[in-house]
Amino acid sequence: MPFRGTLLLVASLLATASVTAAHSCDFYALGGTPCVAAHSTTRALYALYFGKLYQVTRGSDGATTDITPTFIGGVANAAAQDRFCSQTTCTITRIYDQSGEGNDLSIAPPGGNGYGPQPGGYDNPASAIGSPVKVFGQNAYGVFISPGTGYRNDATTGIATGDAPEGMYAVLDGTHYNDGCCFDYGNAETSNDDTGNGHMEAIYFGNNTFWSSGAGPGPWIMADLENGLFSGQQITKNVADPTITSRFLTAIVKGKPGHWAIRGGNANSGGLSTSYSGSRPAPGYNPMSKEGAIILGIGGDNSLGGQGTFYEGVMTKGYPSDLTENLVQANVLSAGYTALPLTSGPPVNVGSTITFQPTTTGYTNRLLAHSGQTVNTQIVTSTDTAAQWTVRTGLGNTNCVSFESVDTPGSFIRHYDFVLQLETNDGSKQFGEDSTFCPQIPISGKSGANSIRAWGYPTRFFRHYENVGYIASNGGPEAFDSQAGFNDDVTWIIKAL
Ligand code: AHR
Ligand code: AHR
Ligand code: AHR
């Protein structure tokens, strides 16, 4: 039987046996292009994988734990994470490689174009709770990358170097993106620096138009080949590269000597389409000079401006066939990715007018208020309109909320450089995202209270520090990130008037 026929037969047998009979990397192996890196915080990417998926680190004491699937080939044990992280914060500090090649991702070191906010210039870790989903009907969490967050492995095994062929796919959030550089997943420099054209081959997702673009306003799947995000053959617009509008997407970039391709589709329905398949751009991209490091959420030189959400992704040895990728897409569809609510705890209802009262001992006689642009806690009563906020549907994400000033209609609480400010809504995407917050169960566990997570920076919460309002992380570079007093300072009693 010809190889293609065998593959189809085996695939259909596996697919009918059980939904967990074969996963993405099983199909790549069947196609003769095995995974040499397989990363996911949501699920096993092999039917028989039962090892570690990712590591979380707890804010309260720095302890770590590894999250595994709940059964062989299954979904990540989100309940174990929730227990471990109860009444504190958690970040994702390692994403394990399921392929057996040992290509784990850890927090990215500083690079030629990006010095991260953590000690030594390392990037930020992602929040462990920024992107809750259901996969195969079970709760799991994706990797929510804010600007400044990134993962890397500079010492890999089995990843393509030079002009060697490879393929990649990733499942991403089609609604979380920006025009910064560069939300990538894939092959990059081992030196953390830009070493020239053709030294990268990675999936890019976003609406950056500095180099290329696709049809419509974006976001688009493009390829980061270094010194350029490519939607097609050259640094130009490729109208065959569509704007992505689905909540979940499957993104593919693959390359072999003299040739590369972009494919993509809705990760919830339908198949994959090819937006580019053709020759390499020139000059410097043919032959390629791939170096074999792996990046997630950043550019090759650690450019830190991108944002996006990663659920799963792999890199292969060899150039996968379209047929193999179609089977991978069918497996992704079977996973049934569904977004879960971003809010929890006592409801904070759209349309209500509220006050925020600190819960820190010694500060409960205050309310979060504003004086002009400054947002701070003040000794005022709930009759003072400077302390009254109308809850609106989130300007940047309708699953969370925004807070409009009662005495200055049209002005909202937003963060800027992580400081809370009152500003007029200018209608921009940045303003909307900076003024979108997700009330959740209180970090301190105090009954009847909420913590208020920043949608775009889910490691950060409304905090008063020396009575000034910030979005603070639990331990971080700024004084207002201080771990001392964190749990109480980020816990508020929200009262409807
Ligand atoms: O190719 C786009 C970006 O350019 C790369 O990710 C980065 O290394 C360089 O700044
Ligand atoms: O508050 C953090 C960031 O600071 C905001 O997202 C951005 O608008 C500003 O640069
Ligand atoms: O905002 C008042 C206090 O200032 C906070 O409780 C404390 O963490 C900081 O010193």
Exposure class string for 361-370: b at 16+ Cβ within 10 A, else e: eebeebbbbb
What was the pLDDT predicted at 215?
A: 98
Cα separation, 87 vs 74, whole angstroms? 27
291 touches 195 (CB < 8 A):
yes
Tell whether the model's pLDDT for residue 286 goes beyond 80.
yes
417 lines ligand 2 (CB under 6 A): yes
pLDDT band at residue 5 using 50, 70 and 90 as cut-offs: very low
Cα-Cα-Cα-Cα torsion 67, 68, 71, 73, nearest 10 degrees, comes to 130
Q: List, for residues 111-132, the tens digit of each pLDDT value.
A: 999 999 999 999 999 999 999 9
pLDDT band at residue 234 using 50, 70 and 90 as cut-offs: confident
Least distant ligand from the CA of 358:
3
Tell whether the model's pLDDT for residue 11 goes beyond 70.
no
Beta carbons within 8 Å of 362's beta carbon, 6+ residues apart: none
466 lines ligand 3 (CB under 6 A): yes
434 lines ligand 2 (CB under 6 A): yes
What was the pLDDT predicted at 21?
A: 85
Tell whether the model's pLDDT for residue 216 goes beyond 80.
yes
Ligand 1 mean position, distance from CA 302 (Å):
8
Q: Which of 366, 376, 466 to mutate to test the pocket of ligand 3 (most atoms within 8 A of CB)?
A: 466
Query: Mean pLDDT throughout 127-152?
Result: 98
Q: Which of 26, 194, 201, 226 is the catalytic position?
A: 226
Tell whether the model's pLDDT for residue 443 goes beyond 90.
yes
% pLDDT > 90, the chain: 94
Average pLDDT, the chain: 96
pLDDT band at residue 100 using 50, 70 and 90 as cut-offs: very high
Query: Mean pLDDT throughout 91-103?
Result: 98
Cα separation, 320 vs 32, whole angstroms? 8
169 touches 311 (CB < 8 A):
no
pTM of the shown model: 0.96
Cα separation, 223 vs 230, whole angstroms? 5
Ligand 3 mean position, distance from CA 302 (Å):
34
Tell whether the model's pLDDT for residue 135 goes beyond 90.
yes
Ligand 3 mean position, distance from CA 352 (Å):
28
pLDDT band at residue 282 using 50, 70 and 90 as cut-offs: confident
Q: Which of 194, 201, 301, 488 is the catalytic position?
A: 301
What was the pLDDT predicted at 107?
A: 98
Least distant ligand from the CA of 417:
2
pLDDT band at residue 13 using 50, 70 and 90 as cut-offs: very low
Residue 10 vs residue 488, higher pLDDT: 488
What was the pLDDT predicted at 235?
A: 84
What was the pLDDT predicted at 283?
A: 87
Q: Would residue 226 show up in a list of annotated catalytic residues for this protein?
A: yes
Beta carbons within 8 Å of 194's beta carbon, 6+ residues apart: 112, 113, 226, 227, 300, 301
Least distant ligand from the CA of 226:
1
- In order of 117, 119, 123, the CA distances from 110 in angstroms are 9, 10, 7
Cα separation, 489 vs 483, whole angstroms? 10
- Strand order of the β-sheet with 132-135 is 138-141, 132-135, 338-339
Q: Would residue 301 show up in a list of annotated catalytic residues for this protein?
A: yes
91 touches 125 (CB < 8 A):
yes
